Amino acid sequence: MEVTLRRSVASIARNRGIAWAAAALPCAVASSNSRRFSILNRPPPNYPGHVPLTRLERAGLMIGSGLMSLRDPRRGDLIAAFAEATATPYFIYRLRDAMLSSPTGRRILHDRPRITSTFLNLPYLRSLPLNTVGRTYIEWLDREGVSPDTRSAVRYIDDEECAYVMQRYRECHDFYHALTGLPIVREGEVALKAFEFANTLLPMTGLSVFAAATLKKSERRRFASIYLPWAVRNGLRASEVINVYWEEELERDVEDLRRQLGVEPPPDLRAIRKAEREERKRQKAAASSV
């Protein structure tokens, strides 16, 4: 079958150009292989940790992980699986193409850097001057009590390069938090997911915005009036944040990077929440003293 396909593509090459045929050949062979793909005849993995899925398995993963992650938004493994199941066949390729269209994005794809404590010198980041990207990032990690080593490995995206793109997006998430100042409380996560959806178009980020329905009434009102408009405005106008080579920006002034990307930090959510708590305590104390 593959021999026949290759001969057909060779004929196309003579009529329409070698470049077009070269691009068509992997798709044609993949289509041939996909017809033989079944649960009982699973192809070998394309990279370490890869789990090839049939269309039925992918649909089951998407529905199951999506419902369970809405029920328990703290299950990072379910959110990661849902992101991978919904990223293909279009959205992760769009993000990969956005990287290929950028000189910096192409370098990232070539170098394949990782954002973990193994590759980032965290003590060095703490030694950087205030307001640098690296210092802002590490202070956000310390304040929120999180680590760069908690991101799940990509497993369910078939294309090896696209799998790296998803891994890169996943590991850059905390840099987006630091850049915007949004905390990891549910309200902050929903706001950041709305920003990411406007910027990356990954379906998981858009569907995560529906978690706003689980917020308290005052939080939903604040999200609708402040953070959702901020997320849409900044996500759409900002440069593709997937193309930031964070490892090369650590010593740069964070405000300078924000201006270059077109990202305006939203109102300080932690400060707003703290002020509300203090006001509630004051009102409670006043009521009890009457």
Using DSSP's 3-state secondary structure scheme, residue 41 falls into strand
The answer to whether the annotation marks 50 as part of a ligand binding site is no
Q: Helices (DSSP H) in 72-159: which residue ranges?
A: 76-87, 91-100, 103-111, 122-127, 133-144
Q: Is 173 annotated as a binding residue?
A: yes
Buried b or exposed e, range 50-84, using 16+ CB within 10 angstroms = beebeeeebeebbeebbebbbeebeeeebbbbbbb
Kindly report the backbone phi and psi dihedral angles of residue 275, in degrees, each rounded to the nearest multiple of 5, phi listed first.
-60, -40
Q: Which of 189, 197, 199 is nearest to 219 (CA)?
A: 189
The 3-state secondary structure of 182-217, one letter per residue: CCCCHHHHHHHHHHHHHHHCCHHHHHHHHHHHHCCH
The answer to whether 110 is annotated as binding is no
> 174: annotated binding-site residue?
yes
Exposure letters 175-211 (e unless 16+ CB within 10 A, then b): bbbbbbbbbeebbbbbbbbbbbbbbbbbbbbbbbbeb
CA 5 to chain CA centroid, Å, is: 36
Residue 150: strand, helix, or coil: coil
**Residue in the block written with tokens 């760069």:** 148
* Cβ neighbours around 134 below 10 Å, total: 24
Name the amino acid, one letter, at 38.
Answer: S
Going by the annotation, the residues of the binding site are 173-174, 177, 189
Binding residues for Zn(2+): 173-174, 177, 189
